[in-house]
Amino acid sequence: MAYSAPRFTIKLKKILIGGAAVFPNLISKIHGILPGVETVVVYGSTEAEPISHIKGTEFMDFHSINGLEKGLFVGNSDRATEIVIIPMEYRVGQSFSPITTPDMAGEICVSGSHVLQGYIDNPEAEKINKIWEGKKCWHRTGDAGYISNTGGLFLLGRCKQIIIYQNKTYYPFLVEYFMQNLPEIICGTLLIKDEKLLAIVQPHSDGHLLETENIISQRIPEAKILFRKKIPMDPRHHSKIDYDLLKKII
């Protein structure tokens, strides 16, 4: 007697997307493939999930008007999460003085009952990543961003990847989103090596890239452009650029 596998009908209603940077073009692709499905962009970290979230339609509507010039808008804080911004130059042991001015960039810190307060057998990580204000624990996300005057949270990328070169500040999210939206480019980023600003770009092919090179040069004239067949990604997510490895191989 032949076995007939049971058939299941699954109706997908909602997709929550996070774990790495989510850009508008990804949400647009998902809506194109699954037009009836609701999407939610979730911002969080291993130690604090979620931090904020925003509906995919609202996310795309905002960025269709504003692009990424203001940063990556990831909605308002989750009801379980308290968010503050501390100065980029904050060092361990300094007094905890969050930035109160809207739209001023710094490091994102979060607190809440779901926020991890420590690490197993790793006091050094706790010292670096946790700030205690009395009995209240704040987790340093390592992400740069700011809170707008309407309470929205904007991401600018990892703090340690921010580049200041010739009195200009380059935020990784803004640069990488610009790169990946060029028609012949898979991904790209900026690095400093030997005191030189380098634009590292992975094209779809080895074809004619003069127009792409001209566009990048107009946007970032100080950078030397290097095309590479493969930009290494982190082994854990395979969705984030492995900056340390990239710097070693260029």
What confidence tens digit (pLDDT) does each residue in 68-97 have? 888 999 999 999 999 999 999 999 989 999
Q: Which of 35, 62, 77 is the last residue of a domain?
A: 77
Which pTM was predicted?
Answer: 0.87
2 located within any domain: no
61 located within any domain: yes
**Residues 146-205 pLDDT 10s:** 999 999 999 999 999 999 999 999 998 899 989 988 888 999 999 999 999 999 999 988
Residue 151 and residue 166 in one domain: no
Residue 23 and residue 94 in one domain: no
For residue 195, the domain's CATH number is 3.30.300.30
Residue 241 and residue 171 in one domain: yes
Which residue is associated with the tokens 């390592």?
142
Task: Say which residues have a Cβ less than 8 Å from residue 178's Cβ, sequence separation at least 6.
Answer: 68, 219
* 22 vs 54: CA distance, rounded Å: 11
For residue 130, the domain's CATH number is 2.30.38.10
Residue 63 and residue 100 in one domain: no
8 located within any domain: no
Q: Which pLDDT value is given to residue 235?
A: 81
* 64 vs 84: CA distance, rounded Å: 27
4 located within any domain: no
Q: Which of 77, 106, 130 is the last residue of a domain?
A: 77
Q: Which pLDDT value is given to residue 99?
A: 97
Residue 122 and residue 179 in one domain: no
Lowest-confidence range among 6-20, 160-174, 211-225? 6-20
Residue 231 and residue 216 in one domain: yes
Q: Which pLDDT value is given to residue 172?
A: 84
Q: Which of 77, 101, 116 is the last residue of a domain?
A: 77
Q: Is the peptide bond before 123 cis (omega within 30 degrees of 0)?
A: no
Confidence check: pLDDT of 8 > 60 = no
Confidence check: pLDDT of 23 > 80 = yes
Q: What is the mean pLDDT of residues 195-220?
A: 91
List the domain range (segments joined by +) for residue 98. Answer: 82-158
3 located within any domain: no
Consecutive H or E run containing 216: helix 210-219
Q: Give the count of domains, the chain.
A: 3
